[in-house]
Amino acid sequence: MELSPDECDYVGCCATLRCVTAVDRISQLLVVLTIVAIVTFGLKRGLFVAAAADAYGYVSQADLWAAGELVIHQPFAAQMTWPNATASLAPLGYRAHTANPADKDIVPIYSPGLPMLMAIFKLIGGHRAVFFVVPLLGGLAVWATYLIGARLAGPPVGASAAVLLAASPTFLFEVVSPTSDVPCTAWWALGLALLMIERRWAALAAGISVGFAILTRPNLVPLAAVPAMLLLWRSIQSRSARRPDLSANPEPAIQLLLFAAGSIPACIAVALINLHLYGSAFATGYGPFDALYSWSFFWKNLTHYPRWILQTQTVLILLAFITPFVLKAQRSAPDRERHPRTVAIVWLSFIGLNVLSYLFYLPWEEWWYVRFLMPAYPPMLALTAASLWTLAAPLERFVTGGQRFVAAAAIAGVSWHGVSFSVERGAQLQWIAEQRYKTVGAYVDAALPHRAVLICMQHSGSARFYSGRITVRYDVIDPADLALVVSQLRHLGYGPYFVLDDSEEPQFRARFDDHTPFGRLDWAPIATLDHNRVRIYDTTGR
């Protein structure tokens, strides 16, 4: 059965109905295999450790949500009176309870969306289940990316976008880590995909998904304006195109209201949590706005983020920005977007707003901080795939299957680059390096006295988590006060120990050497762990 170009189901007309069905089925099978691969990789190579700041911060906050109490009470802190004591007793991922500073309690700084979901998994499946959340949401992100591409320009485009996301170095590095980047990406991708289904239930579900994204990363709440504008545009378009009885179609306006009804409760929840923890609905755990954002950060971030995206995704990603000029409207595609050019412009606006939200944010030097832009990846990769398949379509006139061959080869090449980039930088080995946090905590729990106090920074959260010991952060202690801290802890009956990674020791010496003999670290540690990467010093040895 021959198909006319207007009746073709995806970009670049196939010759027969049998061909269309086969390509669609292969695309869907590829997506299923990709989802299985990503979830398996996340579970097999996941950290499964409450490590450092981010992982510890999210996992430990999940315990607080499961227990129904977000404030950690520290009655022992009343006896500790050195300068800045409360701040130093807050491990990485926590801060003083500013809503009630007199009690010297501490509260989490990270957003609640991911810990709330982790808490549900913990209550159902136990502590280990909290580490299942990110790999499973990684699979959801891949599936939602497929839906975005498939609704925009057909299943082959959706499958291409899904594979590109799964092979992205940024995605591969984050899907093994119990942090918020992949969950935030998954919720935004699902919300955008649902918006392409013009139904009431889909609008409400999209709003709920966007609500979860806001709970996961509240600073990206302005992104919700983009899908809202898409729904508003549909409503205006509906009013301009009258029915035969001259009455306007109210459906798009209803969908806009349902989207708002799904997403606004999350904004209210974030405001109430901020008020409870930080004393203001508009405060965050990360500190004042002017400490995080500055006009002076713009140029450095403008040079970093585009370079990192091109480095990890190759120049093929630039095809995303020409999509509105190459896509055509669909005349006969009930399961496809009728106005792909408009949607492409909306997605580009979403991408631009995501980038803009971090151009004035604190700059970082390592490439993996491009993870802040991951919510833009699903629509960006869908647009890239759509442009690629469209530009390759004329090849069908000269060689049967030429479009599929060129598009598949390009996707395979970029995917190979992404996976190779990730392997060279150790994405599959992160779990090994991070085990030292659990090793140190287990040693402290088994070998050190119950009243040991750990003076540390990198291990301030994980060592507390796995050993139950009090930790004091040396990086917030004034250099002249270290000897006072050690003396006061001894006077209170505690045993102070320094716990330092090998990379921390030069910083520790530089900070304290001129102020106290403790800063020299010139006595033998009582333990060296994880192939001498971590050392524990008993202060009585000095």
Per-residue pLDDT tens over the stretch 292-317? 999 999 999 999 999 999 999 999 99
Q: Which of 479, 487, 475, 486 is nearest to 514 (CA)?
A: 479
Which is nearest to 149 in space by CA: 130, 125, 165? 165
pLDDT confidence bin for 165, thresholds 50/70/90: very high
- Averaged pLDDT for residues 148-172: 96
- Edge-to-edge order in the sheet of strand 452-456: 470-473, 452-456, 495-501, 534-538, 527-529
Contact 248, 238 (CB under 8 A): yes
The per-residue pLDDT for 246 is 40
pLDDT digits (tens, 9 = 90+) for 187-241: 999 999 999 998 899 999 999 999 999 999 999 999 999 999 988 888 787 666 5
All structural domains of the chain with their residue ranges: 5-45+131-425, 54-110+431-541
- How many Å apart are CA 150 and CA 335, to the nearest integer? 9
Helices (H) and strands (E) in the chain, counts: 21, 7
φ and ψ of 243, to 5 deg = -75, 170
Residue 8 has pLDDT above 60, yes or no: no
% of residues, the chain, pLDDT over 70? 91
Average pLDDT, the chain: 91
pLDDT band at 391 (very low <50, low <70, confident <90, very high): very high
DSSP 16: B
Read off the pLDDT of each residue in 47-53 and give the average, rounded to a whole number.
Answer: 93
Query: What's the angle, vertex CA 312, arms to CA 10 and CA 349, rounded to 5?
Result: 55
Mean pLDDT confidence for 348-363? 96
Asked if 444 and 467 touch (Cβ cutoff 8 Å), the reply is: yes
The model carries a pTM of 0.92
Report residue 496's pLDDT band, with 50, 70 and 90 as the boundaries: very high
Averaged pLDDT, 83-88 = 93
pLDDT at 234: 82
Collapsing DSSP states into helix, strand and coil, what is residue 426?
Answer: coil
Instruction: Evaluate if residue 16 carries a pLDDT over 50.
Output: no
**pLDDT tens-digit readout, 432-442:** 989 999 999 99
- pLDDT > 80? residue 102: no
Report the interhelical angle of 200-216 vs 251-278 (nearest 10°): 20
SS (H, E, C) 474-542: HHHCCHHHHHHHHHHHHHCCCEEEEEEECCCHHHHHHHHCCCCHHHHCCCCCCEEECCCCEEEEEHHHC
Nearest to 100 by CA among 72, 121, 136: 72
Checking if the pLDDT of 484 tops 60, the result is yes
**pLDDT class for 12, splitting at 50, 70, 90?**
very low
pLDDT at residue 289 in the model: 86
pLDDT digits (tens, 9 = 90+) for 335-344: 676 788 899 9
The pLDDT tens digits of the residues spanning 28-38 come to 999 999 999 99
Can you tell me the mean pLDDT for 402-407?
A: 91
Contact between residue 374 and residue 305 where contact means Cβ atoms under 8 Å apart: no
